[in-house]
Amino acid sequence: MERLLIITLFFFCAVTSNAQFDDTILSDDGTMVDADGMMTTSRSDSTRQHKKIPKGLYVWTVNDISGDISPATPDTTSYLRMNHVFASGIYGEYQTLGNNGSPRINRIFIDRDDKDEFLFTNGWTQTIVKPEAFRFTNTLSPITVLDYNTCGNKTNGEDHLKALFAVNAGKKLGLGFKFDYLYARGYYQNQSTSHFNYTMWGSYLGDRYQAHLLMSTNHQKQAENGGIQDDNYIKHPEMFTENLSENEIPTILRDNWNRHDNQHLFFTHRYSLGFKRRVPMTEQEIEARKFAIAAAKERAAEERKAKEAAGTGEILDDKPQEKEEDFTKEEYVPVTSFFHTAQLDNYRRKYIAYDSPADYYKDDFYHLETDSINDRYKYLCLRNTFGIALLEGFNKYAKAGLKVFATSELNHYSNPISPYEYNSWSEHNFSIGGELSKRQGKTFHFDVMGKVCVIGEDVGQFDINAEADVHFPLLGDTVSLHAKGGFSLAEPNDYLKTFTSRHFQWDESLSNETRTHIEGALSLRRTQTHLRFAVDNITNYTYLGTSYTLGENNAHIATTVTPHQASSVQVITAQLMQNLRFGILHFDNQLTFQQSSDDIVLPLPKLNVYTTLYLRFKIAKVLATDFGVDMRWFTRYHAPEYVPQLQTYAIQDNEEIRTKIGNYPICNLYANFQLKQCRFYVMMSHVNCTGKGNYFLTPHNPINGRVFRFGLNWTFNN
């Protein structure tokens, strides 16, 4: 009933607001155009019975060091909309526990983002958005976006509700907030997740002064089941006399929880010195000016005729003298900028266990009579960056921009050493860096950035990254070449060096990691072909390994976790994205090949595939429809195992019971629809499920069986 009320509310809001919609949108350069791409002007005539509201949304991201703005694309299409709901990613590239909202790790090594200092949140990239990935907004009118998707029932289903509101106070000041709530009860025992996020943001884009503010808070809770007791409940159910449903399959853990509370504050601003000059208008701006002039002349002619007819105005017989129109505009050209960026991240995490299986852990460092666990961890990071930038393009000789900056970072940790005592310590680092970049123009761009720690615990560590791209026409197509590389020397994560809890503890002397990354990409716009090739080399690769033995009824006994280092690991990656079209039939593919030099230390599937075959057409000429089926598949490999007590993934250390997953296709049948600003889908996920198979994305953690899903996304302009 609650879901029916939510859906009804979506439709009611849309019907009441749709009468105000027009076909005006915001182009990339901030000008208003109609649905056909023609320029238009805002209408301020208050005497109109139905006032049209201009629609338009421009979004961008900011650099977390310098605050530089990079244009982004708004999420306005229905293409693969149904896959946004999955923790496994749009292309099924993530390893998860099967339930939405669960921690994940990317199977595509070059796309992994596991650099958070707070180890326990590395898997929640779906719910915790980093400042450099957040999209700030500029909108012509207040905009509200409601997003809801659901499946199952009150016992095992999932509900995800998001609401976004953005508004502008003039052209320069933009504000907004977002509410995000996910509650996935789970189709298997003891695996529910509950995530709450509230985010507020603001931006001011003036000629001389620019500022961006982002504030968010997260409350996250996850039940931990440690996986099912016997994989044969899924792989070979015929071995058992009982025919168990998903929520009846016994799991390893119960009454175990991970809970997080974290707050994030990000603020970047800059002041620029420069000058004003007149520059030619763009083609769209010229069209807009001509349209406005023609409209003004038309109104003046109508007023003149009205005055002549009424005899109340002066009758002019002479035709006014024509003059040349000025199609230039005045712009402010910044030359030098002074910028400051501040970031505060505050994390609180606790692992609670009211009941642990007998002999589940190898060690008990607290030696308590009870088997309950209440391990608490705190981490705070305060970072300030100050810098000066000589900006690109203020004259014809300034072909690139140059920045120098300094960063001060304070890290504070708190780990338990007993149920009532904590060990706290702080680390401070001071780094300097610089950047040389060229972002203007359409043909060639590059960016080279480097930074090195000169004072503090991380002294001597550095990070250098470079990338370049070139675009040129070839045989009627547009070819894009992109290359990037990186070289870094860094200490392993602090939690990999020193960790304390009731059952896992270590204090290791680990060497610094050296990472080298080289990548190239080729894109053909007309044929929709994208090819990537990358080589990675890691010296002193640091990772976690977990080990246990199996007892009666496959009970896990003597569980341990230990950090390791490998002297050297190499990974070669080749990825092809190819979209094909035959009339209304579309066939889109992403194929990724990976080769790790050590499949035990760094296990990766050699081939990862996502493919979708669908029909794209319109119903009644207005309802855009994608109807098709997709599949995600990867080759068998010893995937990392999930460790609930650390909320992260670890390599399977025990060779005798090491488990492989993969070589199982997961297919979804879907239909995506879009009617103006309303997008919705229906989907039968895992449609090929027969109740038997190797459908695990993580060892001992099966994904859901066949499930019907529904999702709705609606945008309203007020």
Q: What is the C-alpha to C-alpha distance for residues 453 and 462, in angstroms, rounded to an integer?
A: 6
- pLDDT at 668 exceeding the cut of 60: yes
Q: Residue 489, Cα to own-chain centre: how many angstroms?
A: 26
How many CB atoms are located within 10 Å of the residue 121 CB? 22
DSSP three-state, residue 64: coil
Structure tokens at 717: 């302009």
DSSP 587-649: EEEEEEEEEES-TTTS---SEEEEEEEEEEEEETTTEEEEEEEEEEEE--B-PPEEETTTTEE
Instruction: Enumerate the β-bridge partners of residue 489.
Output: 462, 514
CB 385 within 8 A of CB 65: yes
Which tens digit of pLDDT belongs to each residue from 103-125? Answer: 999 999 999 987 789 999 999 98
Average pLDDT for 496-506? 94
pLDDT value of position 527: 92
pLDDT for the residue 39:
37
Q: What is the pLDDT of residues 326-375, one digit of tens each?
A: 778 788 888 999 999 999 999 999 999 998 898 999 999 987 777 889 99
Helix (H, G, I), strand (E, B) or coil at 45: coil
Asked if 548 and 559 count as a contact pair (C-beta separation under 8 A), the reply is yes
CA distance 290 to 292: 5
Angle at 348 between CA 344 and CA 353, to 5 degrees: 165
Q: What is the pLDDT of residues 236-292, one digit of tens each?
A: 999 998 889 999 999 999 999 999 999 999 999 999 998 888 878 777 778 877 877
User: In a 10 Å sphere around its CB, with 0-12 CB exposed, 13-18 middle and 19+ buried, how is residue 622 labelled?
Assistant: exposed
Confidence of residue 184 (pLDDT cuts 50, 70, 90): very high
Q: Is 222 exposed, middle or buried (0-12, 13-18, 19+ CB in 10 A)?
A: buried
Cα 442 to Cα 59, 484, 519, 530: the distances in Å are: 20, 18, 22, 19
Question: How far is 640 from 596, CA to CA, in rounded Å?
Answer: 14
Gap between the Cα atoms of 179 and 162, Å rounded: 6
8 A C-beta contact, residue 686 and residue 677: no
Q: What is the DSSP string of 231-251?
A: THHHH-GGGSSS---GGGS-B
For the segment 384-401, the average pLDDT, to the nearest whole number, is 85
> Residue 661, Cα to own-chain centre: how many angstroms?
26
pLDDT value, residue 3: 55
The strand pair at 32-33 and 462-474 is best described as unpaired
Greater confidence, 285 or 488? Answer: 488
Cβ neighbours around 488 below 10 Å, total = 18
The separation between CA 704 and the C-alpha centre of its own chain, rounded to angstroms, equals 23
pLDDT at 164 over 90: yes
Report which of 464, 480, 400, 398 is spatially closest to residue 431, judged by C-alpha positions: 464
Summarised one tens digit per residue, pLDDT across range 212-242 is 999 999 999 999 999 999 999 999 999 998 8
Give the Cβ contact number of residue 532 at 10 Å.
Answer: 19
DSSP structural state of residue 154:
T
Instruction: Identify which of 391, 282, 276 has the alpha carbon closest to the alpha carbon of residue 330.
Output: 276
Tally: H helices and E strands in the chain = 4, 35
Q: 3-class SS at 186?
A: coil
Place of tokens 């490998």: 566
What pLDDT, in 10s, does the model give residues 446-461?
Answer: 999 999 999 999 999 9
Number of residues that make up the chain:
718
What is the rounded CA–CA span in Å between residue 27 and residue 37?
9
Averaged confidence pLDDT in the chain: 88
* Residue 69 structure tokens: 């703005």
> In the prediction, which pLDDT does 9 show?
47
Instruction: Dig out the tokens for 447 from the structure.
Output: 């960016």
Check whether 24 has a pLDDT greater than 70: no
The whole-number pLDDT of residue 314 equals 55
